[in-house]
Chains A and B, each alone.
Chain A
Amino acid sequence: MKLLKILILCLLPLLITGCYDRKELDDLAYVIALGIDKGENENLNITYQIAIPLKISGTDSKNGKENYTNYTVSAPSLYLGNSEVNTLTSKEVNLSNVKLIVYSEELAKEDLTGHISELIANVDIRPKTTLAICKGKSEEFLSEISPILEASPARFYELFFSSSNYTSKTISSELIDFYTDAQNIQQDAHAIILENKKEEDSEKSSSQESNSSEQKNTKIETTGIAVFNGGTMIGEIPITQSLPHLIIKNDLNQGIIGIPDIYSGEETVSLSISPSRKNSIKVYYQDSIPHAQITAHISAHILSSESTTDYIDKENRNALKESLEQEISKQIYEYLLLLKDLNSDIVGIGNYAKNTCLTWEEFENLHWKDNFKNCVFEIKTIVDLNVSETAFHRLPNV
Chain B
Amino acid sequence: MIFEGIFGTWECIAAFCCIGIMPLVLTLPTFSAEQFGTASLLHILYVSAITAFLFFTAFKLLKKFKEKDILDISHFLGGNVLKYIVGIIIILFLFFETFVSLSEFTINVQNTLFHESPQEHIAILFTITILISSFIGLKGVFRVAALIAPIIIISFIALFFSLSPSVDLINFAPIFGNGIKTFFTTGTFHTACFECLALLFLLAPNVKSISKVSTLTFGFITLLTAITYFLIFGLISYPSVTDNYAAIYEITKLISYGRFIQRVESIYILTWLLATFIYLSTGICCIVKITKKLFGINDFKRIIPAICISLLCASLMLSSYVELLTFRKFLATYITPLIIIILPLFILTFANIKLKHKEST
Contacts and interface: CB of A to CB of B under 8 A. Distances in A.
Contact of B239 (A10, A123, A184, A362): A184
Interface residues of B, number: 37
Contact of B253 (A127, A186, A360): A127
Contacts of A355: 170, 173-174
B37 interface: yes
B259 A158 contact: yes
Interface in A109-128: 123, 126-128
B170 A359 contact: no
B174 A21 contact: no
Given A180-B237, A184-B240, A357 B174 contact: yes
Interface string B82-122: 00000000000000000000000000000110011100010
B267 interface: no
A277 B254 CA distance: 24
Nearest to A250: B168
A377 interface: no
Contact of A179 (B116, B173, B240): B240
A13 B170 CA distance: 47
B67 interface: no
Nearest to A10: B132
B150 interface: no
B121 A359 contact: no
B180 A359 contact: yes
Contacts, number: 77
B178 A359 contact: yes
A352 B169 CA distance: 10
Contact of A9 (B128, B173, B178): B128
A16 interface: yes
A363 interface: yes
Interface in A252-276: none
A176 B178 CA distance: 24
Contacts of A363: 174
Contacts of B243: 183
Interface in A343-394: 348, 351-352, 354-355, 357-363
Contact of B170 (A6, A180, A354, A362): A354
A12 interface: yes
B186 interface: no
Contact of A184 (B111, B177, B237): B237
A363 B243 CA distance: 20
B256 interface: yes
Nearest to B237: A180
B179 interface: yes
B128 A359 contact: no
Contacts of A16: 121, 124-125
Nearest to A353: B173
Interface in B120-135: 121, 124-125, 128-129, 131-132, 135
A258 to B, nearest CB: 30
Considering residues B112, B171, B174, which has the most beta carbons from chain A within 10 angstroms of its beta carbon? B174
B111 A123 contact: yes
B124 A9 contact: no
B164 to A, nearest CB: 14
Considering residues A184, A358, A363, which has the most beta carbons from chain B within 10 angstroms of its beta carbon? A358
B174 A354 contact: yes
Given A123-B112, A354-B174, A355-B173, A361 B132 contact: no
Interface in A158-197: 158, 176, 179-180, 183-184, 186-187
Given A21-B116, A123-B112, A183-B240, A358 B175 contact: yes
Considering residues A21, A123, A360, A361, which has the most beta carbons from chain B within 10 angstroms of its beta carbon? A360
Given A16-B124, A127-B250, A358-B175, A352 B170 contact: yes
Contacts of B38: 354, 360
B236 interface: yes
A128 B256 CA distance: 10
9 contacts: A9-B128, A9-B132, A21-B117, A184-B237, A354-B174, A355-B174, A358-B175, A359-B177, A360-B178
Given A13-B128, A360-B177, 19 more contacts: A12-B128, A21-B116, A123-B111, A123-B112, A126-B253, A127-B250, A183-B239, A183-B243, A184-B237, A186-B237, A348-B170, A354-B170, A354-B173, A355-B170, A358-B174, A360-B38, A360-B174, A360-B238, A361-B179
Interface of B: 37-38, 111-112, 115-117, 121, 124-125, 128-129, 131-132, 135, 168, 170-171, 173-180, 236-240, 243, 250, 253-254, 256, 259
The 7 closest A-B pairs by CB, nearest first: A180-B240, A354-B173, A357-B174, A351-B170, A21-B116, A355-B173, A359-B176
